[in-house]
Structures are given as structure tokens and as C-alpha cells.
């Protein structure tokens, strides 16, 4: 598991040949306010029940509001044997400040 701040993650996503899952672990109301294009919502509390639907061989980028919940989920996925897990450090809040200034914030 590794942490990447928004600028590093954006650069990585632009150059990688893999097709990472952008896994947003916030609540539905948060996701409705703002989200990173292409991300899939599975709230943190629902993740254990949805674990079998995820591919542990697929690179997974975990996203939340400030990077705290996503770090916990990233560590959980790593413990569950997921091959490559990245935490978006600073979450969508940092993404909105550093990458997409048009993104709504809360």
C-alpha cells in the first residue's frame, strides 16, 4: 500500500498502462456532491460485503474526503491480499484544491 498526493496520482494515472479501479469509500451523499471521474462508490461500511466483487489483482486507488477513511480501507485491502493499493492522500478535498478547481467541495 502506498500514499500518493493528488499531483503524483494524476501523473501516475496519465502514464500507467494498467486500468486501476478508482474506489470511492465515502457515503452516497458525499459522492453526490463531488467525485473523481470514473470512480466507483462502495461506502466503507459496505466494503466487507462487497469484497468478493472486487478483483484483488487489479490495481486499486482508494478515495475519500480527506484520505483518512481511504487509508484505513487501503490497509484493509492490502491485508486481504490485494496486489497493488494506492491511497489518495488528502482525498477529494486535496484533489479539488490541487487538480480540479471546478470540483464542488464540502
**What pLDDT digit, counting tens, does each position of 68-95 carry?**
999 999 999 999 999 999 999 999 999 9
Residues lower than pLDDT 50 in the chain: none
Domain ranges of the chain: 2-98
C-alpha cell at 88: 489518495
Q: Which of 9, 23, 63, 64 is catalytic?
A: 64
34 is catalytic: no
6-15 vs 91-98: helix axis angle to the nearest 10?
80
- pTM exceeds 0.75 for this model: yes
CATH fold label, 2-98? Oxidized Rhodanese; domain 1 (3.40.250)
Which H or E run includes 3? strand 2-4
Amino acid at each position: 500500500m502506498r500514499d500518493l498526493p493528488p499531483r503524483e496520482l494524476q501523473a501516475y494515472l496519465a502514464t500507467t498502462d494498467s486500468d486501476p479501479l478508482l474506489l470511492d469509500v465515502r457515503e452516497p451523499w458525499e459522492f453526490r456532491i463531488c467525485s473523481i471521474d470514473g470512480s466507483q462508490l462502495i461506502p466503507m461500511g459496505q466494503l466487507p460485503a462487497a469484497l468478493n466483487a472486487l478483483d484483488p489483482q487489479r490495481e486499486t486507488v482508494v478515495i475519500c474526503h480527506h484520505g483518512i477513511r481511504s487509508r484505513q480501507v487501503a490497509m484493509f485491502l492490502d491485508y486481504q491480499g490485494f496486489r497493488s493499493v494506492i491511497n489518495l492522500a488528502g482525498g477529494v478535498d486535496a484533489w479539488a484544491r490541487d487538480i480540479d478547481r471546478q470540483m464542488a467541495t464540502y
